[in-house]
Structure 1
């Protein structure tokens, strides 16, 4: 049985020139289903928990098409901006979306524009809390692979930063040290300690690559939330990344021994050091980076590790009926993620502004093409995906 999947999509609003403009106050006021972030320049929408990938495709596209239509009515060439950082400028000022919110005040004063980023958070439903904690341990060790696939923020303030994911390089991971939780009880105890110490302001203030999630954290948990991914604007690429994550979790649920605390030759402390370093290495070079495998610490190219994982999960994905959504990963491995494509264009002489402007138009075109066949039957969606790989 396929697991439930839900996405939190953060995206910038702005002009076709690439200038990012804060419009979330108006969007949240006028459109249902959208929520504000502390800075008004990005806005978030969330898809409901869904089992099937064809319905998830529809749930990704419909709010975005609605938002595009709304922005077009505001005039001034307002649109949606791809990428996960303030690529062309704007890091000098924090534009508060809700001046009366004390938590937003804390975020602005503590982190500033380091948190003014756009991303995709992937939530996968797992009802058994101990299985959920095991899932978090496994995905914590493999989260850099998903960052490598999704990296889309090589520019900041109009400059090349030296990172494929400038977002994850600068985003303030909080608290600074997050353990591999050995059990649900361990997670509850640790969370309560952080709240007492003030290293977390509330139960949501756990900003790590992956975390357990639920309606009454830390007690009532029902899903894994992968937070490391940069914004992926192509819906088919995004579905493929979600499918890889679900297939890996299905594989884990079928194999009780698939747990870093059981299968690794490294100590828990060594695993945490390895995970943190892999995240930073993936932020620098994404698919070009050299990572270290959690099983034994050996060096392995990110692209090679993803290819191994892709082959490993194929049987489970086929058994569960969604293997047809994985092939766009091969296109990313072959042609590069958005960050690599942007950097390639930059090396050929294009300016950062031209690259972002062309990406704005490309993203809009991709959405329009998919919207023509919105909410396809599963078999037709499969054919559409395979034809684009």
Structure 2
């Protein structure tokens, strides 16, 4: 069964701070003292990357083991891990450099400021064949808003309710401002070189969009699809469910591109699809599961929840064939109870403060890490 599944890897960005939810930067020290962690330009968040795995059973431990190690180290500093994808209680007036000598970080600070100081989950699926990769990219680009809606976890900024469910995606500077749905690999190579020559991109990494091709030598050598739109999902069961839905949709377009590739099965042209996807992404960032979106097949309005329910129904037979029905099941609870942002806002409506809901979620993160195999010492960590 595993041989029919794609390789999956995760880039996990996390905020560090105090148990009261206040951000404290320590990423540079963490990189020096802990193996497997890297810094972001601002030292209030850091990142780790999991090895590619096809087997879903191994993913929870791959996701949680680095978190446990990091948490144990943070405890020695009186710190903890923070939920959410923005500086919920933090200070956005000040950029806190992790590496003052890094010239690329200087560029990011000067150009974007703290708009880039966010935490997220990047989901990578291994696809080596270029034609298959770009068909998958087109489909995922047109449905990325649905995956953001499941993951939204950033309704706060600077101790205030922003009015959005994913403040992260609304504030994050998409770069370049317009990115086409690529026809094929050569289109991507030519476009990337043009953007770098024009200064719209400073290097091959400087492509910040909802989903992009990635590989060992961009833009020429590509081997994976990288979904970048999702907010931080701390619950591994929900993250695996979102990943399962993503993989199943990609498996569908790989098996039957005539029915699932927007290049072949849409009444809209590529420019209209680009505009539709960007509009959907913004709508999902504002209202997530409550958003009104537009279907890429015909441009008609679809309520986000209805679209997701239909999509889950459509992939369920394939999930059963690949032995992934159980991994998909947690999405039903998200659709019924809301994503992290919606549950936080419901608690606020019930009289809780931002600080209290963050403290509760900090505890929940710790409990998530203890569900798997961990030592008695780790079960006592703060």
**TM-score, normalisation: structure 2:** 0.96
Tell me, in whole angstroms, the C-alpha distance in 1 between the residues paired with 2:257 and 2:301. Answer: 26
Give runs of aligned pairs for residues 132-281 of structure 1, distance below 5 A. Answer: 132-257=133-258, 258-281=260-283
Q: Does 1:346 align with 2:353?
A: no
Structure 1 residue ranges, 4+ long, deviating more than 4 angstroms after superposition: none
Aligned length: 371
Distance 2:373 2:160 in 1: 34
**Distance in 1 separating the partners of 2:161 and 2:238:** 24
Q: Is the 8 A contact 1:8 1:120 kept in 2?
A: yes
- The Cα shift of 1:368 comes to 1.4
CA distance in 2, matches of 1:109, 1:357: 33
Task: State how far apart, in whole Å, the 2-side matches of 1:57 and 1:248 are.
Answer: 21
| 1:13 matched to 2:1 | no
Other structure's SS at 1:19 match: coil
What is the deviation of 1:369? 2.5
Alpha-carbon distance in 2 for matches of 1:59, 1:8: 11
Tell me if 1:24 matches 2:33: no
Residues 1:114 and 2:115 aligned together: yes
Query: By how many angstroms is 1:372 displaced?
Result: 5.3
Report the equivalent of 2:379.
none
Question: 1:304-354 CA deviation, whole Å, 9 max, x = no partner?
Answer: 111111111111122222221000001110111000000001111111111
- Residue matched to 1:45: 48
> 2:85 is matched with which residue?
84
The answer to whether the 8 A contact 1:61-1:371 is kept is no
2:378 paired residue number: none
Note the alpha carbon deviations across 1:157-186, whole angstroms, 9 max, x for none: 111101000000000000001001001000
**Following the alignment from structure 2 to structure 1, what is the Cα–Cα distance between the partners of residues 373 and 236?**
11
What residue is the counterpart of 1:380 in the other structure? none
Q: 2-side partners of 1:370 and 1:299: how far apart? A: 42
**Aligned 8 A contact 2:121 2:228 in 1:** yes
For 2:231 and 2:45, locate their aligned partners in 1 and report how far apart those are by CA, in whole Å. 14
Task: Give secondary structure in 2 for the equivalent of 1:85.
Answer: coil
- Post-superposition offset of 1:202: 0.4
Counterpart CA distance in 1 for 2:28 and 2:185 is 38
Residue in 1 aligned with 2:285? Answer: 283
By how many angstroms is 1:362 displaced? 1.5
Contact 1:210 1:227 survives alignment (8 Å): yes
Q: What SS does the aligned partner of 2:93 have? A: coil
The answer on 1:2 being equivalent to 2:8 is: no
The answer (yes or no) to whether the contact 1:36–1:44 under 8 Å persists in 2 is: yes
SS of the residue corresponding to residue 371 of structure 2 reads: helix
In 1, Cα distance between the equivalents of 2:374 and 2:97? 37
1:378 aligns with none
CA distance in 2, matches of 1:281, 1:127: 32
Answer whether contact 2:257 2:264 (CA < 8 A) is retained: no
Q: Deviations over 1:135-156 (max 9, x none)?
A: 1110000000000000000000
Q: Distance in 1 between matches of 2:292 and 2:210?
A: 19
Deviations 1:172-214 (A, max 9, x none): 0000010010010000000000000010010000000000000
Counterpart of 1:103 in structure 2 is 104
Native 8 Å contact 1:148 1:286 kept in 2:
yes
Q: Is the 8 A contact 2:135 2:257 kept in 1?
A: no
Report the CA distance between 1:58 and its aligned residue.
1.1
Stretches of structure 2 lacking an aligned partner (at least 5 in a row): 376-382
TM superposition score normalised by structure 1: 0.94
Residue aligning to 1:382: none
2:154·2:168 contact (CA, 8 Å) conserved in 1? yes
C-alpha separation between the residues in 1 aligned to 2:255 and 2:50? 27
Q: What secondary structure, in the 3-state scheme, does the structure 1 residue paired with 2:53 have?
A: coil
Structure 1 unaligned blocks of 5 or more:
374-389
Determine the C-alpha separation between the residues in 1 that align with 2:145 and 2:268.
18
2:149–2:285 CA contact under 8 A, matched in 1: yes
> What secondary structure sits across from 1:334 in the alignment?
helix
1:71–1:79 contact (8 Å) kept in structure 2: yes
SS in structure 1 of the partner of residue 257 of structure 2: coil
Structural RMSD (CA): 1.0
